[in-house]
Amino acid sequence: MRVVKPKDRSKRGRKNRYIPNLAAAQFKPTEDWSVEKARREYQKAVFNKGVDRIVFRDCVKEMGKLPEESVDVIIADPPFGLSFTGKESMYNRDDRFVRDGYQEIEGDYEEFSRSWILQLPRIMKDTGSAWIFSGWTHLREILNTINESGLMLVNHIIWKYPFGVFTRRKFVTSHYHVLFLVKSSKYYFNRIAHYPLDIWEINRTYRRGEMKNGTKLPEELIARCIEFTSRPGSLILDPFMGNGTTAVAAKGTFRHYLGFEVNKSMDAVIETNLGLIKLGEFYVPYGDRSDELVTRARQRYGLDPEKSRIEV
């Protein structure tokens, strides 16, 4: 009988020679579009229901009317459940610019979360994703409801902002939770950055004299969610549109949007914010964006970004 000796793995070398920063030097996004191609994708997208509009009604009722599997990405930043009006002086804002009518939650936060989160899987495409924003106070109720919905949590991202409400006997909160959820393993993910970490440091932006309700997210934050999980021409839904930040981020990145908002007085604010940006204004082909790690690695190997392959 022939005896086969087990191979001594310790004597074998690595299959591929280790080259420092090779992956960074050779980085390519999964998919990429020139500005003109992205614009064409945007123009040729066809939808059953009217898009690029905000419906000033309760999202709980309106989402029930959307067709099954019709949405690529959901961006949802629900009310905090903290009797917040956005005018609180502790937020150190000039409240002449803060609109009235921010709709808070009365009653049980988990019941409210169930009323909208449980609707998401039906309207999401199999390739789709949902991004839910939450402070830590009601995170538990949101996570419980996600569990019940059957959506899968892919990443629990922390958005860190260099701003917080002054406190005397506790730490200043300067982060937010961003939950990246999908419906199936077929979800679309475009790795548009070489090494995307799950802590995002993005400043809150305040333009002088801009009208808003007091809870505006930065466009950069929403554009990041949109660009990693959709293509130009995709449909982005925001059930709690607020200042129209998702609409602005979608328009700025060649995506279509649909939104709901109960506070009718935000209509003029959203119109103004949308009027301030041009279609595709934020869009830069992903391969052309500056990435320090990638640039340094390419310099190290003297690589041209167009032909970023190293013969090993």
Ligand X SMILES: C[S@@+](CC[C@H](N)C(=O)[O-])C[C@H]1O[C@@H](n2cnc3c(N)ncnc32)[C@H](O)[C@@H]1O
DSSP H or E stretch at residue 179: strand 175-182
The CA distances from residue 295 to 24, 244, 299, in Å, are 8, 35, 6
33 binds ligand X (CB under 6 A): no
85 binds ligand X (CB under 6 A): no
By rule CB under 6 A, what count of residues binds ligand X?
20
Task: Pick the binder of ligand X from 24, 38, 59, 123 (CB under 6 A).
Answer: 59
Beta carbon nearer to ligand X, 24 or 236:
236
Asked whether the beta carbons of 277 and 116 are under 8 A apart, the reply is no
Name the segment binding ligand X (CB under 6 A); options: 20-28, 87-95, 224-232, 255-263: 255-263
| Least distance (Å) between residue 74 CB and ligand X | 12
Name the segment binding ligand X (CB under 6 A); options: 122-130, 174-182, 209-217, 292-300: 209-217
131 binds ligand X (CB under 6 A): no
Task: Pick the binder of ligand X from 27, 102, 200, 286 (CB under 6 A).
Answer: 102
Beta carbon nearer to ligand X, 114 or 300:
114
Task: Pick the binder of ligand X from 121, 245, 252, 298 (CB under 6 A).
Answer: 245
Give the single-character DSSP code of 219: H
Beta carbon nearer to ligand X, 271 or 288:
271
From start to end of 227-308, where are the E strands?
Answer: 235-238, 256-260
Distance from first CA to last CA of the chain, Å, rounded?
41
Asked whether the beta carbons of 211 and 269 are under 8 A apart, the reply is yes
How many helices, marked H, and strands, marked E, lie in the chain? Answer: 10, 8
Asked whether the beta carbons of 110 and 144 are under 8 A apart, the reply is yes
217 binds ligand X (CB under 6 A): yes
Beta carbon nearer to ligand X, 51 or 248:
248
Q: What amino acid occupies position 22? A: L
Output the furthest CA–CA distance in the chain (Å, rounded).
90
The angle formed by the CA atoms of residues 177, 182 and 185, to the nearest 5 degrees, is 140
| Least distance (Å) between residue 12 CB and ligand X | 54
Beta carbon nearer to ligand X, 31 or 108:
108
| Least distance (Å) between residue 206 CB and ligand X | 12
Residue 163 φ then ψ, to 5°: -165, 140
263 binds ligand X (CB under 6 A): yes
The number of beta carbons lying within 10 Å of the beta carbon of residue 305 is 13
77 binds ligand X (CB under 6 A): yes
Residues that bind ligand X (CB under 6 A): 58-60, 77, 79, 102-103, 213, 215-217, 239-240, 242-243, 245, 260-263
